[in-house]
Structure 1
């Protein structure tokens, strides 16, 4: 039996256990949702009978809402765990020279191997050395797991660049065309209007710490540990920036761009639909959602997704259409998204809560509408001096982002 076969045999029980846990978590989630619907039916009947909701029913609904959110987070965490590959030393092939040199640097501070490989990355913003590039395997894994943890990154277009700024020309009215006969003259078409969008990359960092004895322990999967520590810190910061970042030393979030009523939309702004009630959905929530959906052109609408936080989603779970069917539907399976009126729902905690004038819900084709720019390479600088007895790993990457197509995203504004 080969070493690779032995590895698969060794890891199979763990994979099977995770799959079973995911199935159990999904079953619990669906059971809780059925309980949620029954309780909501009782709440609605009570409102119809007494003209108002019983406080006990409202408290019960809130508890079930919280349970649904917790079970969904548990299921998502298990799915990420299942997708996590082995970055340690369990593989059948010997680690590459780059990984061996990186491992020596991280564990013992031995820079010789990395210097010989000429992998040193010079910092753009300062004179001192910026650390060392991590191996390609770890770089790819951090990026992939960020896509699983950062909601906007997972639905946006992601571009890799080698420079500090991505410049993208854009034709406001598309390319000029015209119909002609087979032998007719070809008159000159109108000159298209072009604009240039710029997406600078900004530095984001994390600084996990560990004791020297832990790092020197050969049983520790040092690369997997760094990836796990870094991914959560990066995902949290990116998630906030992609939604509402101001573009100063960070990506520019789509909510930071000017917004106007969709009837007065112009390029450079995001159009919004008003709910008709300050800080609320109004009397006919389904009508407002339909208006939001059809504010998008057909080409964008077919790939549309709703983006909201869990509190907004908790309100929407209660809504029904004229036939008594719930507008919000649970995921069809583990790892899939819930849906609202047939379109996937993406839960982004950095979206604002429902309040007067808040832009708490977005709908659009984010693959066309929002661009995430990653500068190639993740760097690590080992610092055993600043926080003795701990060793710090100053880990940085450069990332930018912004709206690339202002037609592809629409907002729901909770205002009259």
Structure 2
């Protein structure tokens, strides 16, 4: 059950000029499921990506990185669900490349202008014949208005589609931003078991877009965790078609900051929707750490709390067993942490200070906050001025059931 996940009506999902999307049924893992998605981009579009740091990077991730580095100008993306094409060795790489060749032939492009993406079960060969056979149907279905359908077609264990769309005034013009993401489990940077695609009709210089993609990923998809697992297939792509007439070529351009912020906000919403729809989630938790000596230190503490199974199960049970949070703070890896300067809040309730339970804390106050669907955990370390935030969820019985039955 997703936690307060907003799904915009189709009428408020804006097409992005220069982006067409086609959907088809390939039967990759299950019959009668729309599991193949194709994006076609206008000539001159800029594309940048951020990918998983898992050493067992899936074949499509490796091909994407090579094609982006090739500088041929990306004109198409192809996404399949049901099979990750990861842990598949040389034959997996060949299947990813052949997917690009097949789509390029249909679109009149070079194979190096196509980026392939896969998500699903790891360690199984990609059914290339079924994928390639369905590509013509996906191409025939290309339309600028298929964003909502695409949000559904890239889902795996997701229960809800994840989509954002907005129009933003930049100077005297208006630009459109629309994006989709998927992910529900194996979520922990860098990055999460997720796919994310964000497009704008603003024009952005290719090298500048690379820098923007990395920074935006760090502020969004690299600030979420469900279960601490980093997947083999994580990919976040930004596409800038330039069809609006607005163009940003450098960080000194006055339009750069508002455009960057708009893209970052959209990516953050997509990332948080992944946590809201995490496998079995019943609570959405924001872990805020402040007064750290560095951002890295703040993240250490935030992730220690966010990924603790004991903390997450307590939140599922609405049990204010808040000593578990203190325990996680203590083992986060800050060897000289002074517990006397550390304070902990649960929502608006000050729980601990001076290394012990706060004298005004009452169990019923903690219980009141724990029953809420959205909870903020705030931690002040009393060591400096750095701060950071991580978004996570609880662990429920359903999480275990979903992952125990995932391949059946």
Verify same fold: TM over 0.5. Answer: no
Q: TM-score range by the shorter chain?
A: under 0.3
Work out which of the two has the higher radius of gyration on C-alpha atoms and give 1 or 2. Answer: 1
Higher helix share: 1
Q: TM-score, normalised by structure 2?
A: 0.26
Higher strand share: 2
